[in-house]
Chain A
Amino acid sequence: MYVAVKGGEKAIDAAHRLLAKNRRGDPMVPELALDQISQQLSLAVDRVMTEGSIYDRELAALAIKQARGDLIEAIFLLRAYRTTLPRLAESLPIDTGAAFLRRRISATFKDVPGGQVLGGTFDYTHRLLDFDLAATSGADRPVEAADLPPPAPRVLDALNAEDLIERAPVDRGIAPPDLTRQPVEFPAARALRLQNLARGDEGFLLGLGYSTQRGYGHNHPFAGEIRAAEVVVEIVPEELGFPVAIGEITVTECEMVNQFKGSPTEPARFTRGYGLVFGECERKAMAMALVDRALRAPELGEEVAAPAQDEEFVLYHSDNVEASGFVQHLKLPHYVDFQAELNVLRKIRAGTADPGGAEDSPAMTEAAK
C-alpha cells in the first residue's frame, strides 16, 4: 500500500482552523482585548517590542494575542511586519540624561544627584503567590499617580568628570551600520554589536551574561546606573532643518562600570558595558551590558577565551527568530537526505559485514549528522 504523505494542502488548511480554535480557547471565557494585554501584560509587550525591534504597544499586544502568548512567535510576527515598513526618517540620538525617570538606581554610590528612585520593581517583593489576584473583583483600587521625578544627571558622568572612566565614544557623525539592511561582517563595529544585542534573545543573553559572572570572561561589573525613563524621540525634517519631537518612548538603560585598564601611556580608567532596551526589560538591559563589555575584549587587549567574548559566536546565535526557525526546521521532511545516508550506511556495513552478525558497529555512530 502506498502511504506517502498526500494532501498537504488540506492538512495545512485544517491545521490553521485548529490553531485558531486553540488560540481562542473556551468561547465561554471572554476574549482578550489588546488593551488588556498592553496594560496588564506590559512586560511581555515590552519584550516583544524590544526583540521585535519596533516600538508599538498595540501591534505587540496583537502579536502576543495571535501567538497565544508565545513571545518568540510574537517577536517573529512583529519582525516580519517591520521588514515591510518604509524608512521615513532617522531619529536623533535619544538623550536619557534629559528624560523623566520611572526608576533610577545606582549600585556604586549610596546617593547620587537626583537620588535613588526605586520605581515599580519586583526587586523587594517576596515571591509569594498573591491569591487575591486569582479573583477578579473588578474593583481595583486606583493607585494615585505621582508625577515622575525630574531628569537627573547620569551617574557615570560624575566619574567622567574625574576622568576615572573611559569616555563615551565621540559621535564622529558616521551613520551607524544597520543590521537589518546589511549582512554582518566581522570584526563588527560596536554599534552593530549593540544593535544585535538589543534585538537578541533575552534568555540567551541572560545565560551568556551570567557565564561572565562565573568566570567565563570575567570583567568585574558594578551596576553604575540603571534607569528607566520616558525619552523624547526627535527627527529633523529636511524641509524644516530643526528637531521636531515625534513621540515619547520608555526605555531602560544599564551602564555597567567594569574592571579598570591602563597602560604606560594611558592612565587607568574603569571600562564600560552598555545595555538599552524598550520598555522595562531591565534583566535584558543588564545582561546586554555584561555581554557588550565581554565582547569588547579584543579592543581592550584581553584574550578572547570565553563564549561571551567571541563576537561571531554571540552575534550569530543571539537572534531568537533565526534560532527558532533553524532549530524547528528539523521538523520539515528530510527523507531524501536520510535515504542517501541510509544508502551509504548500508553499503558501508555490507562492505564490513561481520559474519557473526554484529548489530551495532561502533564505527557507525558518527555516520549521521
Chain B
Amino acid sequence: MTGGYNFAYLDEQTKRMIRRALLKAVALPGYQVPFGSREMPLPYGWGTGGIQVTASIIGADDTLKVIDQGADDTTNAVSIRRFFAKTAGVATTEQTGAATIIQTRHRIPETKLRDDQIMVFQVPIPEPLRWLEPREAETRRMHAYADYAVMHVRLYEDVARYGRIATAYDYPVVVNGRYLMRPSPIPKFDNPKLDRSPALMLFGAGREKRIYAVPPYTPVKSLDFDDHPFTVESWDRSCALCGADDSFLDEVIVDDRGGRMFVCSDTDHCRGRRDAEQPA
C-alpha cells in the first residue's frame, strides 16, 4: 500500500499548508484556524484531523504513540498506529515516556508530559458554541467579540436544574484568557492537564477543517462559578489491577448480576504501576 505514496502519506505541499495553519494556531492559542483538510484513506470522524496533523509534523526519527480511550490496543488506535508505521516507517511505542508524538482520542495520559513531547488530539466538533448556535458564521462572530455569555448561561442552567454543572466531558475552557475552546471529548478529569502543560497540544478536526493549539505553558481555565468551582471526577474505589486511586477509571461489566470492576483507562500507566510493584 505504501508504494507510490509520500512519507507519512500526505504530499509535501499539503504538509506545508497544514504547518502554516499550525503556526497560526500556536500564535493564537485556542483560535480555530480553517485549513484545507484532505480526504484521508480513513473515514471522517475516525481521526482524520489528528492524522493530518501528525503526518505534517512527524519526522523519520520520531517515536509515535497512539491511544484511543487511553488505551494503545483499542482497534482504532491500532489502525492509526499501523497507518504511520506503514506510510512513514517510524518507530512506535506504547510507553508515554518514550513517545515524541502522542496522538489521542478522548484522553490525556496520566504520566506527566515533557516539553519535548507533542500531543495531537482528534477532534470531532471543534466549535465549543456549536450546540448553542449551529451557524458557523454566527459562532465566528461570537469568538471575534469574545461573546461567551451563552456558555455561562448554559452552565448556570445545569446548576439550576441539577444543582451542579452537569458537563462531564468536552468541558469548555478558556485559553490564555481569550478564546473559548473545546478540549475535544476528553473527560473533564483531564482538563487540568491542559493548564500550563510543558507539552505542545495540537488539535485537528478533519471533517470540520479546523486546527487549533495550546502552546506550552499556556494557562487553560475550565469555566466555572465562584460558588460552583470546577471539580474533576473521583471514584470511591481504586483500579482493580494496579490499585491506583488517582487515575481515570473505566467501568467494566463482568457478569449479568450487576458485577462491576474498575480499571485504569490509561493502559500504559496501569501496566507501568504493576511492573514497578512486582519486578520479575
Contact = CB atoms under 8 A, between A and B. Distances in A.
Interface of A: 1-9, 11-12, 76, 79-80, 82-84, 86, 180-187, 312, 316, 321-322, 324-329, 332-337, 339-344, 347-348, 351-352, 363, 367, 369
Given A12-B75, A84-B5, A84-B11, A348 B250 contact: no
Given A8-B78, A183-B36, A343-B168, 15 more contacts: A8-B73, A9-B73, A12-B75, A80-B39, A80-B40, A321-B43, A325-B44, A325-B46, A325-B207, A336-B169, A339-B249, A339-B265, A340-B168, A343-B233, A344-B166
A1 B39 contact: no
A3 B168 contact: no
A312 B139 CA distance: 12
Given A4-B252, A9-B78, A325 B169 contact: no
A363 B207 CA distance: 34
Contacts of A80: 39-41
Given A2-B261, A352-B163, A332 B46 contact: yes
Given A337-B168, A340-B233, A332 B76 contact: yes
A320 to B, nearest CB: 10
A180 B9 CA distance: 17
Contacts, number: 161
B169 A341 contact: yes
B15 interface: no
15 contacts: A7-B73, A8-B78, A9-B73, A12-B75, A80-B39, A80-B41, A183-B210, A322-B207, A325-B46, A329-B124, A336-B248, A336-B265, A339-B251, A351-B164, A352-B163
Contacts of A83: 38-40
A328 B250 contact: no
A329 B43 contact: yes
Nearest to B266: A336
B74 interface: yes
A328 B185 CA distance: 17
User: Could you tell me the dominant secondary structure of chain B's interface residues?
Assistant: loop
A136 to B, nearest CB: 35
Given A80-B40, A348-B163, A348-B166, A336 B124 contact: no
Instruction: For chain B, give the interface size range.
Output: 35 or more
B69 interface: yes
A282 to B, nearest CB: 26
A340 B187 contact: yes
Interface of B: 5, 9, 11, 34-41, 43-46, 48, 68-71, 73-79, 82, 105-107, 124, 131, 134-137, 161-164, 166-170, 185-189, 207, 209-210, 233, 235, 240-241, 248-252, 254, 261, 263, 265
Contacts of B37: 183
A357 to B, nearest CB: 16
A329 B46 contact: yes
Nearest to B14: A83
Contacts of B106: 334, 336-337
B2 to A, nearest CB: 12
Contacts of A335: 69, 250-251, 265
A252 B35 CA distance: 32
A80 B37 CA distance: 12
A187 B68 CA distance: 36
Given A4-B250, A322-B207, A333-B68, A339 B39 contact: no
Contacts of B163: 348, 351-352
A339 B187 contact: yes
Contacts of B35: 183
Contacts of B186: 336
Nearest to B70: A336
B75 A11 contact: yes
Contacts of A187: 137
A1 B39 CA distance: 42
Contacts of A332: 46, 68, 76, 105
B236 to A, nearest CB: 10
Contacts of B166: 344, 348, 367
Given A83-B38, A326-B45, A340-B233, A6 B78 contact: no
Contact of A347 (B39, B164, B187): B164
**Chain A to chain B: the 6 pairs with minimum beta-carbon distance, closest first:** A325-B44, A329-B45, A325-B43, A340-B168, A326-B45, A183-B209
A327 B241 CA distance: 34
Given A321-B39, A335-B250, A340 B189 contact: yes
B7 to A, nearest CB: 13
A12 B77 CA distance: 11
A83 B124 CA distance: 21
Contacts of A324: 43-44
